Structure 1
Amino acid sequence: MIQRRGLTIGQISDRTGLAPSAIRFYEEQGLVTPDRTDAGQRRYAGSDIRRLSFVMIAQNLGFSISEIRAQMASLPQERTPTKADWTRIANRFRRVLDQRIRQMQALSDKLDGCIGCGCLSLQTCRLYNPQDRAARLGRGPRYLMGNSASEVE
């Protein structure tokens, strides 16, 4: 019978493509929690392959370790996460990704026009943001951050 936590760090490394040092880092960050043998060697569960793969994907999508850790905290430690467990996390990440997509679309659509940054250097900025009215909404490129010109009128 296969032990629940019987994979070595080398086996996990082979399966995920992560260097053992990266796996140890993710352990330090609380993203995986291997058992230890009597000799102190790490032993991972098969489900840790999925956890680490998820971390790699989430990082590639721009999520920080702390954001990933916060979401993965809801995964059960006493059993292998189910599809429903992963779906809950995926739905939370999807909402963030959808917001980022909307922001990127706004950036793409408005990049060559007034973004409410206060520079007033483009002729059109004088039309869309006279006297830097967008500054009342806060610092930075207000129109790209979700504000609209109608909020300052």
Structure 2
Amino acid sequence: MNKFIGIFACLLIVALDVTAGILGIKGEAAQNQEKHLRLWIFECKEPSHEAFVLGVAAATLLSLAHVLANLLGGCSVCTTQEELQKAAPSKKLSMACLVFTWIILAVGLSMLVMGTISNNKSRASCGFTHHHFLSTGGILCMVHAVFAVAYYVTSTAALP
């Protein structure tokens, strides 16, 4: 029964992250369908409501997948350098995956939020070009799935 819960948790995390990635990429496609005028590095682009909604949904799903992976993975934090050196290899790998999931979350969520804000209705202005924030954030959602599942698997394997 415990093995079934673990498999279900991994599939749920992957489903949330992949869905977030697809929504981010679709948001980028919706943004690219809007009218825009470009002159060198300056660009005037109409905001896309569909891209805004897809960006919000992608950011929400990425956050939910991250919270779920961290709650189910438990807390396997080493507090001192000495404790980390004495830790088992599976615990060290778990810590590395945890750090990578937080880094990927920070960068991916930032990209999704920047892409979403650029599609806010009140932001119909000209400025420097901001390309591929939503699609890059979507790709990072899928990378997050790999490290989140690796964290969950290694942290549950490290438990006594």
The normalised TM-score by structure 2 is 0.29
Question: Which structure has greater helix proportion?
Answer: 2
* Relative contact order, higher structure (CA 8 A, sep 6+): 2
The normalised TM-score by structure 1 is 0.30
Which of the pair has more CA radius of gyration?
1
